[in-house]
Amino acid sequence: MYLTTVLGNLPIILAFSSDSHLHTPMYFFLSNLSLVDICFTSTTVPKMLVNIQTQKKVITYEGCITQMYFFLLFAGLDNFLLTVMAYDRFVAICHPLHYMVIMNPRLCGLLVLVSWIMSALYALLQSLIVSGLSFCADLEIPHFFCELNQMVQLACSDTFLNNMVMYFGVVLLGGGPLAGILYSYSKIVSSIRGISSAHGKYKAFSTCASHLSVVSLFYCASLGVYLSSAATQSSHSSATASVMYAVVTPMLNPFIYSLKNKDIKEALKRFVGMTGIKGPVVLGMRKCP
């Protein structure tokens, strides 16, 4: 599954970087999402595979805090990038004549930069607060990675501040982007309903169907993790549910986006063709008899 995630997302990044036809806002955000998905999975799965291979399920305290920081960083980036992509689809469908003016390269770069800054600050805040907690000896985390909620629950000191920051982050960084996505799609639906022809409605909806599928998968998996941990209080069920959004979702994203995307397929064909002809080329002139 890890190799599928890397080998599925990497071609999207290569296609965007090598083909000027894909240098549009939609594919710019998609290539960033693919990069984040590779990094998101790489924060947990390689360490888990090493633990399985060596039969030593041990991680240092510093390594645990570092893993938690990068997991929160890339999870937040996934969340923000999906919101930015929803806004991109909103502008493309509701304001098609002004699309390239509104979604200019400066704004696209600024949206991605702000997403990185907000995610990094939130991950840093959570990591610093957790590092201030005191833990008992022989700490055992009932999870396949250093998950924030499990770390807080296992602390021996007061965790009131941690819980407040954690719930505040869920509402602000989870509910805010979700509200933005829902608002964007409510406007998209009302705009599509105003299109008279059936072909026009289908064409408009097909441009955002892949993104809607990825959003549904991401938030349904995240909601499943929350409900399973809140309802059963079982670490095994919580860890199983976490695999859905930490491993399965990044693996499926590239297939959802590129399965019916002709632009990406054509770009990959051109990229493979370019790499295939690289090599010594012999030039010569044949004398006429």
Q: Is 205 inside a domain boundary?
A: yes
pTM equals: 0.86
Q: Is 192 inside a domain boundary?
A: yes
Q: Is 289 inside a domain boundary?
A: no
| Position 183 confidence tier, pLDDT thresholds 50, 70, 90 | very high
Q: Is 285 inside a domain boundary?
A: no
Residue showing tokens 């799965």: 45
CATH number, residue 51: 1.20.1070.10
Q: Is 286 inside a domain boundary?
A: no
Which residues touch 86 (CB under 8 Å, ≥6 apart)? 180, 181, 184, 185, 211, 215
Domain encompassing residue 27: 1-264
Phi, psi of 155 (to 5 degrees): -75, 150
Q: Is 47 inside a domain boundary?
A: yes
Q: Is 85 inside a domain boundary?
A: yes
Whole-number pLDDT of residue 288: 46
Q: Is 7 inside a domain boundary?
A: yes
Nearest to 135 by CA among 238, 64, 225: 64
Query: In angstroms, rounded to a whole number, what is the distance separating the alpha carbons of residues 62 and 140?
Result: 15
Q: Over the stretch 146-159, which tens digit does the pLDDT of each residue have? A: 888 888 888 888 88
Q: Over the stretch 67-111, which tens digit does the pLDDT of each residue have? A: 999 999 999 999 999 999 999 999 998 888 899 999 999 999 999
Alpha-helical segments (H) within 95-197 = 99-102, 105-131, 148-153, 160-169, 176-193
pLDDT at residue 285 greater than cutoff 50: no
- The total domain count for the chain is 1
